[in-house]
Amino acid sequence: MTRIVRTRDFAAEGVSTAELRHQVAAGGVRRLRIGHYAVGELDPPVEAAVSGYCSLSCGAALERHGIWVRLATAHWRVSPSDRVRRSRVGEPIRHRIAGRAVDGVDDVLTALACAAQCMSFEDLVCCVDSARHLRAVTRPALARTLLTRNGIRALAVSDARSESGLETLARIRLRSRGIVARPQVVVPGVGRVDLVVGDRLVIELDGDRWHSTPETRERDRRRDAELVARGALVLHAGSRRVFDEWAPFEAQILALVHRGEHRWSARRRREQSDLGREYWPGSR
């Protein structure tokens, strides 16, 4: 098992100083810095952080905590009072803020504080949404931590209901065009759908991880058929459309909204919606 062990931990396990020196000489244990040793092969960026008296932060740290990250950039952090200027791999220290790290990796809150200084607005919102959805952080804690302009803006539009970065990106991009997309709406008889615009425009964001097998594609087709039978309009977008081909996809959505096709007809509004009551609260 790979782990970082401190001198005091070896002592607590009954390992003497002489025995520790022997293990280091034999190659079973590697000394990273004073009082810190590696047992097994460490992730290179983490080893660089521990060896260099700094911590791995930003996207690389968030990814290691299971947070959705578009670019897992490795940045290094030290406390403001530390004199370290470069990591052990030769890269400059990017962040000098107080925070908490365990075994060379910043915790989620500290990594988000660093990300607020260097990530784009979109990427930061994705990380904040993901961290909140996973309950890795609370909104009050984020409000005390994300003090940059970028961080304050990101928290203001964050929504813990978003289950992936694709959903977040689509939602905030549509928001910038004045379109409200409600995340994770429950449709009776179908289940949750990723985003709903207005009364009946359903947008499904198909990440490669969950929609790449014949079985999942067939499941998606059955869901689409049920949604259409209930009167919904359904659009799909995968990673490529969201990351690289967003403009034409957004144009399709804007055209539907401009024509009012995202809303029920006046007659349909007077009737009981087949899609259930979940479609009515907060409709725009």
Give the integer Cα–Cα distance in Å for 74 and 53: 15
pLDDT given for residue 61 in this prediction: 96
CA atoms of 94 and 119, how far apart (whole Å): 12
Domain limits, the chain: 1-42, 56-157, 165-279
Burial string for 224-263 (b: 16+ CB within 10 Å, else e) reads: beebeebebbbbebbbebbeeeeeebbeebeebbeeeebb
Residue 107 and residue 77: Cα distance in Å, rounded? Answer: 12
Q: Report, as ranges of residue numbers, the positions in the chain whose pLDDT lies below 50.
A: 277-284
Q: What per-residue confidence (pLDDT) applies to 278?
A: 47
CATH class of 165-279: alpha beta
- At 188-203, the pLDDT tens digits run 888 999 999 999 999 9
